[in-house]
Amino acid sequence: MKLEKELVAASSVPLVLSILSEGDSYGYAIIQRLKELSGGKIEWTDGMLYPVLHWLEDQRLVRSRWIKSESGRKRKYYSLQPDGRQALRQQKEQWTLVTSTLNQLWRPKYG
Amino acid sequence: MDNLEKLVAEWRKTMMTAPNVGRETLNELENHLRENVGQLVRSGMTEPEAFQRAVTQLGGAGAIALEFQKLDQGTWLPVKLVTGLGATAALAFAILLIARFDAGRTSFLLASHVFLVTLGYTTTFLVGALGICFVGQRCFSDFSPSRMHSLMRTTFTFGCAAVSLTAVGIILGMIWAKAEWGRYWAWDAKEIGAFAVIVWQACFLFAHRFACGTARGVLVMSVLGNIVVGLGWFGANLLYGGLHSYGTWNYSLLLLAAVVSNFAFFLIGLAPAGWLRPRKVS
């Protein structure tokens, strides 16, 4: 199943913030975590993640720093900031409201 | 592996043509590409196949650039104004001096000296004006990293222009002074002022490039440039200026007010960001 472009765009911020709430991470690992969680069903074009990460950094929701990996190459790690946790709480409330409303509408009706 | 390095180098070349994708972002994307290639090779693909798949998954230069373009907040209004003012000032000074030169009232060397030094000093004032705008806006909200980066780039460009114009202007002035007054340099008030200004401009660029100070520190520091140029340019006229004395009107109070107000802006710049922002009542 391929998600529609608009839904991918709308869900990118809560998805990234939620993954970062599990701990600091970098672009490639974020994509892998997303594939793992969705069973490979949510597929982003990898390059689209970076504008989202940079936008989150601009909004001070996340912070980045370069750290040397075991391979010797530097990776840019992102960590959630207090404003990011606040934004994630708001996103959770909104998405929970939408999904619970849809669940009620789509619940099989008996009798 | 050599083959992979060649492929990555080619890919970097293509990506570098994309606007809005800076070197740091490119390094980040390259890391992603290499990690993906490594993973695909471990899963059994050949290196060229893995590279092609990883590039497709990452997306084309145009598509990525387009996404980054959406982040671009546009140029900050004070930067536009200052750039416009700088260009207008350069044009106005040039026309004025060409008119004087044509009328035979100024030699070419003196006209060039006055033009370059005036433009160099004015450019330093423009950097200071950006510093004041930065301090003013920061009282209400902090700057985003991308806007801060763009502001730092602008002030560095203006700083480089200011020091180059002033330095060449002073050298031309020295050559003219040797021919007309019989000496290159005499440490009169105007010359001490010029020396102070160029030392300041060099210190500002040094702080910008090499010092450990923060971007905020450098931008707040730029406000002090207004005081140095104000005293070096206009303050020197109030003192006995030797051969440089132009017999101007006494504007010492105005100059004092300018110095005090710029110093006040500098002190305000040391306050935390958003200290004047209205607090929400919960």
Q: Is the ipTM of this complex over 0.95?
A: no
Asked if residues A28 and B40 have their Cβ atoms less than 8 Å apart, the reply is no
How high is the pLDDT of residue B90? Answer: 86
Taking only the tens place, the pLDDT of each residue in B212-233 is: 568 889 999 999 999 999 999 9
Give A47's contacts in chain B (Cβ within 8 Å).
29, 32, 58-59, 63-64, 67
A59 reaches B (C-beta below 8 A): yes
Single out the residue of B123, B276, B150, B138 nearest to residue B216, CA to CA. Answer: B138
Contact A46 B35 (CB under 8 A): no
Q: At what angle do helices B23-42 and A49-58 cross, to 10 degrees?
A: 140
How high is the pLDDT of residue A41? Answer: 83
How high is the pLDDT of residue A110? Answer: 67
Touching B: A residues 3-22, CB under 8 Å: none
The Cα–Cα gap between B46 and B26 comes to: 24
Single out the residue of B223, B221, B258, B267 nearest to residue B238, CA to CA. Answer: B258
Residue A109 DSSP code: P
B17: Cα separation from own chain's centroid: 25
Give A60's contacts in chain B (Cβ within 8 Å).
142, 144
How high is the pLDDT of residue B281? Answer: 58
Q: Which of residues A106 and B277 earns the better pLDDT score?
A: A106
How high is the pLDDT of residue B213? Answer: 64
Task: Find the CB nearest A28 among B25, B27, B32.
Answer: B32
The Cα–Cα gap between B253 and B248 comes to: 14
Contact A58 B67 (CB under 8 A): no
- The residue type found at B243 is L
Give A42's contacts in chain B (Cβ within 8 Å).
none
Both tokens assigned to A57: 């950094």
A55 reaches B (C-beta below 8 A): yes
Least confident range from A16-20, B114-118, B250-254, B278-282: namely B278-282
Contact A51 B67 (CB under 8 A): yes
Residue B138: how many CB atoms within 10 A of its CB?
Answer: 21
A40 reaches B (C-beta below 8 A): no
Per-residue pLDDT at B133 exceeds 90: yes
Handedness of CA B190, B192, B195, B196 (dihedral sign): negative
Give B25's contacts in chain A (Cβ within 8 Å).
50, 54
| Low pLDDT (below 70) residues in chain A | 1, 110-111
Asked if residues B155 and B130 have their Cβ atoms less than 8 Å apart, the reply is yes
Task: Find the CB nearest B67 among A48, A57, A74.
Answer: A48
Residue B5: how many CB atoms within 10 A of its CB?
Answer: 9
The Cα–Cα gap between B201 and B193 comes to: 12
β-pairing verdict for A74-80 and A25-26: antiparallel
Q: At what angle do helices B189-209 and B215-229 cross, to 10 degrees?
A: 170
Band of residue B149 on the pLDDT scale cut at 50, 70, 90: confident
The Cα–Cα gap between B4 and B16 comes to: 18
Per-residue pLDDT at B279 exceeds 80: no
* Three-state DSSP class for residue B137: helix
Q: Which residues of B touch A (CB under 8 A)?
A: 24-25, 27-29, 31-32, 34-36, 57-59, 63-64, 67-68, 70-71, 142, 144-146
Taking only the tens place, the pLDDT of each residue in B15-62 is: 888 777 778 888 999 999 999 999 999 999 999 999 999 999 998 888
Distance in Å, alpha carbon of A47 to nearest chain B alpha carbon: 5
- The residue type found at A3 is L
Distance in Å, alpha carbon of A37 to nearest chain B alpha carbon: 18
* Three-state DSSP class for residue B229: helix
The Cα–Cα gap between B39 and B6 comes to: 19
Number of A–B residue contacts, CB under 8 Å: 63
Band of residue B69 on the pLDDT scale cut at 50, 70, 90: confident
Handedness of CA B135, B137, B140, B144 (dihedral sign): negative
How high is the pLDDT of residue B203? Answer: 95
Single out the residue of B245, B249, B225 nearest to residue B236, CA to CA. Answer: B245
Residue A79 DSSP code: E
Single out the residue of B161, B163, B186 nearest to residue B174, CA to CA. Answer: B186
How high is the pLDDT of residue B199? Answer: 97
Task: Find the CB nearest B28 among A31, A55, A76.
Answer: A76
For chain B, the first-to-last Cα distance in angstroms comes to 60
